[in-house]
């Protein structure tokens, strides 16, 4: 992949932010190329989830905060999530990423409200069910009756209704069995291939999630300390660099 500006879909430049008086990110800068799957790793408190929330306009303005976020060539710093969805940019939080009081079909319908067109929704709805065939037999089921893997599939299906250019996913493998992690990794690969969607995934389960990504970014104390291509075999030195040294 080339390094041309048009090849970049997401770029962070010198982002410094936090919560209240506590700074979490320090001049954070990185770039994600179009069509990539990038894994953002780091210890608890390193700023991984804060980075995603800042990108998606989900944290208040930090006093003396700085930085710029560019998506698809446009400055989106401070733009609301509802506007970002319209631009094909979707965020899947770790928790509360589906509506527990609605069945699977209703969850998909609520997610499709942002499309503002019934005909388009039903077209996308059929496409999403073909992309997520497991959900076809679960449409009347409530999320509380789903397995952890099925629940995450629903969250990704809701995001896929928008044919997103990019998805931010915060710890999608948290609490999942080895089998369900494999299921979600396969679905991420399918979405990336079938829809051309770029992914930035925050994950703490590094060894389990390693092979889904093309590149790995390591975060420590709010700064990127590592950017490297994924190798064919898991590199334990990666953990030492990010979590120990």
Express each pLDDT in 123-173 by its tens digit.
999 999 999 999 999 999 999 999 999 999 999 999 999 999 999 999 999
| pLDDT one-digit tens code per residue, 36-81 | 999 999 988 899 999 999 999 998 777 777 889 999 999 999 899 9
- Closest CA relative to residue 161, chosen from 188, 186, 192, 195: 195
- The C-alpha atoms of residue 61 and residue 51 are separated, in whole angstroms, by 13
Number of structural domains the chain divides into: 1
pTM, two decimal places: 0.91
Q: For the domain that residue 165 is a member of, what is the CATH number?
A: 3.40.50.300
pLDDT-derived band at 244 (thresholds 50, 70, 90) equals: low
Average pLDDT for 117-127: 93
Token pair 């401070």 in the structure block, residue: 78
User: 32 with 227: CB under 8 angstroms?
Assistant: no
Domain of residue 230 covers 5-244
Mean pLDDT, rounded, for 20-32: 93
Tokens of 44: 């608890």
User: For a pLDDT cut of 70, what percent of the chain falls above it?
Assistant: 92
Average pLDDT over residues 207-215: 89
């Amino acid at each position: 992949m080339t390094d041309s500006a048009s090849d970049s879909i997401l770029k962070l430049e010198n982002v410094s932010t936090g919560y209240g008086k506590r700074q979490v990110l320090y001049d954070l800068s990185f770039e994600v190329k179009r069509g990539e799957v990038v894994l953002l790793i780091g210890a608890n408190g390193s700023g991984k989830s804060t980075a995603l929330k800042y990108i998606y306009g989900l944290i208040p303005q930090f006093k003396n905060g700085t930085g710029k976020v560019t998506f698809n060539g446009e400055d989106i710093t401070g733009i609301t999530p509802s506007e970002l969805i319209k631009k094909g940019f979707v965020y899947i939080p770790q928790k509360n990423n589906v509506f527990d009081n609605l069945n699977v079909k209703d969850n998909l319908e609520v997610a499709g409200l942002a499309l503002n067109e019934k005909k388009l929704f039903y077209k996308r709805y059929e496409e999403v069910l073909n992309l997520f065939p497991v959900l076809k037999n679960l449409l009347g089921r409530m999320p509380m009756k789903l397995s952890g893997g099925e629940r995450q599939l629903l969250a990704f299906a809701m995001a896929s209704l928008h044919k997103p250019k990019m998805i931010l996913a915060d710890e999608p493998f948290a609490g999942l069995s080895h089998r369900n992690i494999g299921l979600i990794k396969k679905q991420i690969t399918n979405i990336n291939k079938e829809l051309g969607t770029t992914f930035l995934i925050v994950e703490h389960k590094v060894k389990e999630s390693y092979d889904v990504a093309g590149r790995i970014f390591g975060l420590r104390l709010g700064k990127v300390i590592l950017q490297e291509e994924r190798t064919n075999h898991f590199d334990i030195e990666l953990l030492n660099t990010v979590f120990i040294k």
